């Protein structure tokens, strides 16, 4: 890499970074296959493999760009095969802890290949209750975001606000009202994509929780988003 060429890490961190190249998954598989995870902490084992890939890129064993992409786990190129290794080792609880600690756990769009592989692995390993616990906690997080949004939309402007404070309040309400349909639909889609784990393996209480979320979302959709 010359001084005029962009650092691969800087380039890949921008939102308009290109999608991972097709060969990256196979490259990630090879690094995970050669690794010697301790199976005590998923994050620690993953970071060790990411560092090894970055060093390989700097040493010229693989391209610097591939090393950077693997270090960033783009396309779950390292975490997906490592999830599979952990599942094979019956370390499902450690995978669950790692998934629930990720920032993405709080947002919609969580039903990725990696995360579904983890859930299916828990079920196959005889731990369906663990998969249900992960799914329910995730759905509660995403439902709460939609709930917070509709509660904000429902608020009335407090009396006696100064003009500047009133303007800020009105802007916040307008923003929340604009976001609310997407929040509701996102939560509904998330439940649709993941509810089968609860329906197939959850308790009556787990199923009631899902039913309550869906009913509340429908009530709010009818109240706030229909003309």
pLDDT at 190: 97
d(CA 10, CA 199): 43
- Please check the confidence at residue 147 and state whether its pLDDT lies above 70: yes
Q: How confident is the model at residue 21 (pLDDT cuts 50, 70, 90)?
A: confident
d(CA 56, CA 138): 36
- Please check the confidence at residue 8 and state whether its pLDDT lies above 70: no
- Please check the confidence at residue 209 and state whether its pLDDT lies above 90: yes
Percent residues over pLDDT 70 in the chain: 91
- Please check the confidence at residue 11 and state whether its pLDDT lies above 50: no
Percent residues over pLDDT 90 in the chain: 82
Q: Is 76 left (phi over 0), alpha (psi -120 to 50) or beta?
A: left
Give tens-digit pLDDT for 49-74.
Answer: 999 999 999 999 999 999 999 999 99
Q: How confident is the model at residue 18 (pLDDT cuts 50, 70, 90)?
A: low
What is the mean pLDDT of the segment spanning 161-171? 91
d(CA 154, CA 156): 7
pLDDT at 17: 57
- Better pLDDT: 152 or 12: 152
pLDDT at 2: 47
Residues 65, 86 contacting (CB under 8 angstroms):
no
Rounded to the nearest integer, the mean pLDDT of the chain is 91
**DSSP 8-state class, residue 155:** P
The domain ranges of the chain are 8-89, 129-225
- Please check the confidence at residue 152 and state whether its pLDDT lies above 60: yes
- Please check the confidence at residue 109 and state whether its pLDDT lies above 90: yes
């Amino acid at each position: 890499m010359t001084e005029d060429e962009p650092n691969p890490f800087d380039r890949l961190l921008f939102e308009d970074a290109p999608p991972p190249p097709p060969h990256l998954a196979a490259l990630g598989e090879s690094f995970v296959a050669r690794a010697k995870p301790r199976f005590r902490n998923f994050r620690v084992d993953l970071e060790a493999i990411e560092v090894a890939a970055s060093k390989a890129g700097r040493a010229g064993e693989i391209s610097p760009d591939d090393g950077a992409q693997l270090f960033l786990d783009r396309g779950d190129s390292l975490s997906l095969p490592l999830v599979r290794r952990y599942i094979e080792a019956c370390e499902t609880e450690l995978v669950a802890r790692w998934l629930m600690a990720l920032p993405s756990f709080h947002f919609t769009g969580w039903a990725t290949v990696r995360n579904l592989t983890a859930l299916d692995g828990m079920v196959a390993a005889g731990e369906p209750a663990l998969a249900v616990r992960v799914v329910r906690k995730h759905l509660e997080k995403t439902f709460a975001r939609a709930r917070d949004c509709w509660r904000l939309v429902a608020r009335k402007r407090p009396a006696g606000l100064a003009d500047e404070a009133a303007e800020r309040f009105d802007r916040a309400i307008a923003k929340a009202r604009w976001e609310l349909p997407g929040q509701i639909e996102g939560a509904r889609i998330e439940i649709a994509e993941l509810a089968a784990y609860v329906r197939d393996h959850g308790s009556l209480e787990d199923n009631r929780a899902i039913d309550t979320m869906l009913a509340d979302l429908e009530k709010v959709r009818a109240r706030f988003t229909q003309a």
